[in-house]
Amino acid sequence: MYIIKLGGSVITDKTKENCFKQKIADDLVRQIKKSKKETIIIHGAGSFGHIIADKYKLNEGHISVDQLIGLSLTQGMVQKLNSLVLDSLHNIGIPGVSIPPHSCLILKNHKPFSFNHIIFKDYLDNGFTPVTFGDVVLDKQLGFSICSGDLLMLLLAENLKPEKTIFVIDEDGIYTSNPKQDINAELIESTTIDQIDEYITSRDKHTDVTGGMQGKISTIKKIAKLGTDTILLNGNKPDRLFKVLIGEKTRCTNISGGHK
């Protein structure tokens, strides 16, 4: 079984509120179907979640009564995006089933407090493709906070032991420095968790990485410690996801899982 996260920056236009990239999503889903692999799909919130979550400061927890409508609207928007992703699956006959994090996960100060992974396993065992997504969820300490798709990757990898976790992003993988700012940036094709520390340090020195990528790397390190391999690949390039799923060589970053 493979756990795939379709990044919000791939399936939505992050600069335009609620803009779904239908063609890209359809194509990624087609590649998953063609691979015939058992998968769990997670998708990011992109412009359906980040803009509104930021407006109502939802990740700071419950600090004002105005946020209640903000939480409700945000959940509504990410579920709209989820319906669009489900449509892509259903249109080509993949039996995708939505499992919203706000109904199976509770956080405590941003960290997992309780998580019902059994429901994912039970749907998988019945032949379905579970689909979950970045969401706003209850938080025992803060009232509520944001659960990213990256955190779901880690939780599901921990509990369901996939063959690989795959992050579909809008770059070819992890680079030695930020490829959007540095023409000398080189793609790291294959690495281990120990080496990742070095990359983070050198990135910090040049202050050329977004918090987003750094957060992702820290999640990937935790996944690697479970012994699970992670691949990052570009979702805008044809058939890279398919090739990774069937074990064919393609341009991407492969982080091999170490053993504790």
Measure the CA dihedral 133/135/137/143, to 10°: 160
Residue 74 or 230 having the CB closest to ligand IPE = 74
Residue 49 or 173 having the CB closest to ligand IPE = 49
Give backbone dihedrals phi and psi of 167, rounded to 5 degrees, phi first: -100, 115
Residue 139 or 150 having the CB closest to ligand IPE = 150
Strand partners, 111: 108
Minimum distance, C-beta of residue 151 to ligand IPE, in the bound complex (Å): 8
Helix (H) or strand (E) holding 222: helix 211-225
> Strands (DSSP E) along 11-149, which ranges?
39-43, 96-98, 105-108, 111-115, 129-133, 135-139, 143-147
- Closest to 253 in 3D by CA, of 219, 211, 210, 217: 217
Residue 44 or 173 having the CB closest to ligand IPE = 44
Chain position carrying tokens 């994090």: 101
Minimum distance, C-beta of residue 131 to ligand IPE, in the bound complex (Å): 13
Residue 74 or 88 having the CB closest to ligand IPE = 74
Q: How far apart are CA 11 and CA 22, in angstroms?
A: 7
One-letter amino acid for residue 42 of the chain: I
Q: 3-class DSSP state for residue 16?
A: coil
DSSP 190: E
Residue 53 or 224 having the CB closest to ligand IPE = 53
Minimum distance, C-beta of residue 169 to ligand IPE, in the bound complex (Å): 9
| Residue numbers at the binding site for ligand IPE (CB under 6 A) | 7-8, 44-46, 49-50, 53, 74, 78, 134-136, 146, 148-150
